[in-house]
Amino acid sequence: MRTFAILQDRPRELLAATGLTHDELARVLPALAAASTVRYPPAKTWAGKVRQRQRGGGAQGMWSQMADKRLFLLVYQQTNPLQPLHGWPCALSQPQPHAWIHHWLPGLPHA
């Protein structure tokens, strides 16, 4: 899985994935983390109930770092319709998804 730690050293991929430079993202992440803390206080569950065990107990989620959670959200917001996103999970450069999409798309109506 690609994480913020991996992506922060790849400025072109970071910009393609989020639409933000590293400096812009560094300014946005604290604000997103603060908003998340207000919406989901650490002492309560997502449903708003008081936690029965300490935060961090139980099953561990897919994203352990706050930056990874925010990266997921920003990538969704920015790049869902863009071709770099379609190639990113497969480690394809931008031209490759473009070529494959246009190669396979004409066959879709026949499926």
> pTM of the full predicted structure?
0.54
Q: What is the per-residue pLDDT for 81?
A: 64
**pLDDT above 90 as % of the chain:** 0
Contact, 18 vs 71, CB < 8 A? yes
Tell me the percentage of the chain whose pLDDT exceeds 70. 74
Stronger pLDDT, 14 or 46, i.e. the higher one: 14
Note the pLDDT of residue 18.
81
Residue 75, burial from CB neighbour count under 10 angstroms (0-12, 13-18, 19+): buried
Q: Which amino acid is at 32?
A: L
6-15, 23-32, 41-50, 90-99: the lowest-pLDDT one:
90-99
